[in-house]
Structure formats: C-alpha cells, structure tokens
Amino acid sequence: MFPNIPLYPGFVAQRQSTMAVGHRRSRVLSGTMMLIFIGLLVVVARMMGQHKQSIHKLNVPLRFWRWWTWSESFWNREQQHLDLLYNPILNVAPTRDDSLVARTPWWLNNSQALKPCEPDHRVPRQVGDYNTLPQRFQDFLLYMRCRAYPILINQPHLCDDRPFLLLAIKSLAPHFDRRQAIRQSWGRAGNVANRTVVTVFLLGTASSVDHFPDLSGMLSHEAERNRDLLQWDYRDSFFNLTLKETHFLEWFSQHCSNAPYILKGDDDVFVNTRQIIQYLEHLPEGMTKDLFVGDVIQNASPHRDHRLKYFIPESVFVGDYPPYAGGGGYLYSGPLALRLYKVSQQVALFPIDDVFTGMCLKKMGLVPEKHKGFQTFDVDKKYRENPCVYKNLILVHSRTPQEMIKIWSWLADPRLDCQNSTR
C-alpha cells in the first residue's frame, strides 16, 4: 500500500507511550515485566499447591492487558482476544474458565459461540459507526474471523524438484495477459542463471457479486496447460488480499517448504530474476534464515480520510503501523515463511495485506530490511526507457505485459553494454 508517513495528529495522544519508545527499550521492558510476571505466577502456584482448595482463585491481573493495549477498536479487540488465547502464561493458569473469564470485558469473551465462517451479525452492534462505513469494511468485518477457504485449483507437485526461488504472484482471474507475459519473461520457470525457478499465480474467485463474467472454463484450461495456478474460493477483492497471503503461506508449508527463497509480488511489476539470484548467491551465510527485504516503509499510520483507498476508520484500528515492505514485491526466505505461517494464525486479519505481514513480522521480533533495488514507486521517468537501469534493479512497479517482455529482451541481449552507462 501507499504509506501515510506523517502522523495523524489525534494519534500521538492515543498512542501508548510504551509503544512509542524505541523497539529495543520496549522489548527489554516487556521482557522484564514478563519475567516478573512469571515469577509471580510461580509463587502463586506454589501457594496453591499448599492450599488445594484455593486452586480456582488465581487472579490474573487485568491491568497487565490494559497496560499492553487497551482499545475499543474492533481489530485491536480481536487481537487482544487472540493474545489471550495464545498466551502461554495465561493458558497454563488453571482458572481460564471461571474467575478470569468472569472479569473479562465482554469483547474478550464473545467469540467462541459462532462458527467462524458464518457472517457475524453481532459485529454491526459492536462497531459504533458500522452502518456508515464503506461497503468493503462491512464485508470485511462480517467475515473477519473466517480464515480457511477451500482450494479450487491446486498444484501439489509444483516443488517436487526443489526450486531455488519460488515466484508467487498475486493475480486476478481476468489477468490472462499479465500472467502470460510473466511466463514469457521474468517468470519463465526452469533454469535461470543455473538455478531452478518455479512460478505460481495466486487467485481468489472473480465472483458474480462483482459482475465478473464466468471465467472458470478458461481458468481450468490455463491451469491444465501451464500447471502454475492456485485458486481459493473467496471473493478476490482488495481487502481480501490478506487471505491471499495466509492461504499462500499455508500452501507453501504443505507443498513447497523445501524452497529456500520466495519472491511474492503483484502481476504488474517487472522483476529482474537473474539479479535476485545473484543477490541471493552472494548473501552472507548468517543472513539467509531471517531474510525479508523489500521497499520498506517505516513510521506509517492509518489514513483517516475516508476518500482514500487505504482509509482505515478509528472504529476498526488504532495504533501505528509496524515497519512493512510494500506489497508490490518482497523477497524472503522459505524457513521464515514457515514461521510466518504459524504466527499469522495469531494475528487478527487486517484489511491491508502488506501491513498485516508487517504485523506478523513484528510479532516474531523481526524488522524487514530496505533494499534500494525494490522500486515500488517506479524509477524516475527519464530513465524508464534505459535498459541499463534495469540491470541492477530487483523489482519495479508498474509495467504492462508488453513492457515486461520488452525489458526482459533488453536484459537478455548479449550486446547490452552498461560499462559506460551513468546509471
């Protein structure tokens, strides 16, 4: 997404001071608090061992959560609920079912009742301005808890010959020409620079709700011919891109976990695949495990102007965005993707996919790294027709299918000589 770097004025006040201080300091602080808290639990548990009758009276201090994050915004509430579910300390507490629950605010205690994939009709009452929110928010909030949609087109054997690099491209069913241009240029599967590259396109459903023509016949033909499509049965909308991310991570864990590197990007970018391979081959040994590079945006916060594409109302989310890599394209390691998949299940779905991935990284204690080869805001206009500009780039947004093929042929031309080039 496009960042909103300047802080929204109302924010500074809302933001909790503990979050605003440097990461390290707050981590040290929370680590210390955690240790004290564990210590207290141990003492309490000992005491309970001596007085068996009082075993159900353990008081988990709610202030702990209040201090952490305390907000009535819907996403923040959902996140606190997940934190409670997945917090190892609170889960060992023997009183999860009575005294803790009794003291829990209603919004930490209300989600077990429903099947997650049925529309949650309590949401309109829980989000104050629900009825005046744009339709996409109403759609998103109603199904926010549903995280598992059936797979319609799968390629379980795509990674049988352990690829060095997996190119995972977010596409939309009608974008046949973009996918074909990628196959004929930077996404050509097979041997590139003496390494195995595999390409896969990620699709949801172009549904009749959005007045898409029925493309299922053409898609199955395309899938059979190229064996590089993955499709899941959710509505392929902007706010559902986060589902594309989580479903891809799940698929990767199940069917491609042996691939050491992944580039995930849009279908309207140009990628210099050879440059990526060269970059990866020259990575220092220690950098590969936690590799996550891209066009990283720091210090962004939600847009509060409802006319913008990236508008997020306060009733949905308050807080700053973590550092995140722009969704146009980023490069990360396979082992990190496996950890990302696990953590993603503990993070409430956020309607902007790249920010969501940043949230997951933050939960893992990682910060994505900026690399100037990722030009998600494009290069200066006067350089766009200069083949040498693309030689050292990793990714540039945006390019048409024809431009992709043209640029790729420039780079493949052995006569291309950039020795005397200024760039």
Q: Which residues bind ligand NAG (CB under 6 A)?
A: 101, 104, 106, 109, 136, 139-140, 143, 194, 234-235, 237, 239-240
In the complex, the smallest distance separating the C-beta of residue 109 from ligand NAG, rounded to whole angstroms, is 4
The nearest distance, CB 69 to ligand NAG, in angstroms, is: 19
Nearer to ligand NAG, 13 or 113 (CB): 113
| Least distance (Å) between residue 149 CB and ligand NAG | 6
Q: Is the CB of 37 or the CB of 310 nearer to ligand NAG?
A: 310
Give whichever of 194 and 419 is closer to ligand NAG, judged by the CB atom: 194
Would you say 167 and 273 are in contact if contact means Cβ atoms under 8 Å apart? yes
Minimal distance in Å, beta carbon 206 to ligand NAG?
Answer: 11
User: Of the two residues 210 and 224, which places its CB atom closer to ligand NAG in the complex?
Assistant: 210
How many angstroms separate the CA atoms of 218 and 220, rounded? Answer: 6
Q: How far apart are CA 275 and CA 166, in angstroms?
A: 14
Cβ proximity to ligand NAG: between 72 and 403 the closer is 72
Q: In 3-state terms, what secondary structure has residue 243?
A: helix
CB of 407 to ligand NAG, least distance (A): 24
Beta carbon of residue 111, minimum distance to ligand NAG (angstroms, whole number):
10
E strand segments, 111-159: 151-153
Q: How far apart are CB 200 and ligand NAG at their closest, in Å?
A: 21
* Residue 333: cis peptide before it, omega within 30 degrees of 0: no
Tokens describing residue 102? 């009794």
| 95 vs 58: CA distance, rounded Å | 6
Strand partners, 294: 330, 370
Burial class (CB in 10 A: 0-12, 13-18, 19+), 372: exposed
Residue placing its CB nearer to ligand NAG in the complex, 153 or 396: 153
Name which of 35 and 101 has its Cβ closer to ligand NAG: 101
Q: How far is the CB of 285 from ligand NAG (least distance, A)?
A: 18
Nearer to ligand NAG, 141 or 296 (CB): 141
172: left (phi over 0), alpha (psi -120 to 50) or beta: beta
CB 89 within 8 A of CB 41: yes
- Measure the CA–CA gap between 417 and 423, rounded to whole angstroms: 12
Nearest residue to 364 (alpha-carbon basis) of 339, 384, 388: 339
Distance of alpha carbon 314 from the chain centroid: 21
* Torsional class of 190: left (φ above 0), alpha (ψ -120 to 50), beta (otherwise): left
